[in-house]
């Protein structure tokens, strides 16, 4: 399980993976930068993006399937880690349709071929352990929700694809008490009535 830097670590890890995997032959035709952006950065002037792929965390939710699963490493510890899903929007910023479409297709293919991130591909800042695994899966988002996101942030719509990074398990403080003690009293009575 990871620390509270893990959410940013997942975003950084995806961007770092894409940046390192971007092929030289594609870079020669469409030079591209990869960035993690906040809503504040998107609200500012985006003219300096040039040809860029941005990763924007637009929503975080509690994972409904493992939210009450305790740690596997220390069964005596009753603290339950916080399990969250990260809803990410990957957007392509380019001045030509060819660059926009080609880069978007390449990013989607990369995330399709490499949907699992583990300690070897996650950045150190998250404090990941060897049993941490984050799955990057495509997410369905309605056109209305997508337009609401783009309306809420200042720039005009850009070609975007949404993904969910599932499950990021964030450590909680260890509980100071152990597991509850279960005590049972047994009384035996003789089988004869007096």
- Residues spanned by the domain of 133: 6-170
Mean pLDDT of 84-92: 95
Task: Identify whether 189 is part of a domain.
Answer: no
Of 9, 37, 56, 20, residue with least CA distance to 169: 9
d(CA 111, CA 155): 25
Residue 155 dihedral angles phi and psi, to the nearest 5°: -70, 165
Tell me the pLDDT tens digit for each residue of 148-168: 888 887 778 889 999 999 999
- What's this model's pTM, rounded to 2 decimal places? 0.82
Q: Which residue has the higher pLDDT, 1 or 61?
A: 61
The helix/strand/coil state of 2 is: strand
Task: Identify whether 183 is part of a domain.
Answer: no
Of 73, 90, 93, 89, residue with least CA distance to 81: 73
Task: Identify whether 143 is part of a domain.
Answer: yes
Mean pLDDT of 30-57: 87
Task: Identify whether 179 is part of a domain.
Answer: no
Asked whether residue 186 carries a pLDDT value surpassing 80, the answer given is no
User: Sheet holding 33-37: strands in order across?
Assistant: 33-37, 52-62, 82-93, 159-170, 133-138, 116-118
Task: Identify whether 190 is part of a domain.
Answer: no
d(CA 37, CA 55): 6
The per-residue pLDDT for 5 is 93
Q: What is the CATH number of the domain that holds 76?
A: 3.30.2000.10
The per-residue pLDDT for 179 is 60
Task: Identify whether 102 is part of a domain.
Answer: yes
d(CA 131, CA 188): 48
Q: How confident is the model at residue 48 (pLDDT cuts 50, 70, 90)?
A: confident
Asked whether residue 194 carries a pLDDT value surpassing 60, the answer given is no
Tell me the pLDDT tens digit for each residue of 13-34: 999 999 999 999 999 999 999 9
Total structural domains within the chain:
1
Structure letter (DSSP) for residue 48: G
**From the CA atom positions of the chain, what is the Rg in Å?**
23
Strand 133-138 and strand 116-118: pairing? antiparallel
Task: Identify whether 181 is part of a domain.
Answer: no
Task: Identify whether 193 is part of a domain.
Answer: no
Share of the chain above pLDDT 70, in %: 84
């Amino acid at each position: 399980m990871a620390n509270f830097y893990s959410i940013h670590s997942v975003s950084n890890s995806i961007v770092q993976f894409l940046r390192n995997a971007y092929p030289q032959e594609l870079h020669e035709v469409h030079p591209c930068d990869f960035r993690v952006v906040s809503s504040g950065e998107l609200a500012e002037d985006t003219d300096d993006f040039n040809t860029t792929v941005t990763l924007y965390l637009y929503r975080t939710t509690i994972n409904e399937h493992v939210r009450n699963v305790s740690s596997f490493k220390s069964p005596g510890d009753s603290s339950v880690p916080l399990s969250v899903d990260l809803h990410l929007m990957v957007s392509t910023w380019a001045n030509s349709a060819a660059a926009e479409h080609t880069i978007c297709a390449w990013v989607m293919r990369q995330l399709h071929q490499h949907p699992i991130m583990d300690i070897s591909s996650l950045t150190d800042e998250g404090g990941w352990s060897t049993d941490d695994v984050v799955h990057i899966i495509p997410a369905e988002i309605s056109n209305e929700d997508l337009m609401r996101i783009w309306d809420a942030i200042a720039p005009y719509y850009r070609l975007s694809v949404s993904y969910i990074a599932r499950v990021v398990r964030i450590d909680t403080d260890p509980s100071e008490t152990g597991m509850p003690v279960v005590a049972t009293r047994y009384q035996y009575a003789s089988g004869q009535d007096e």
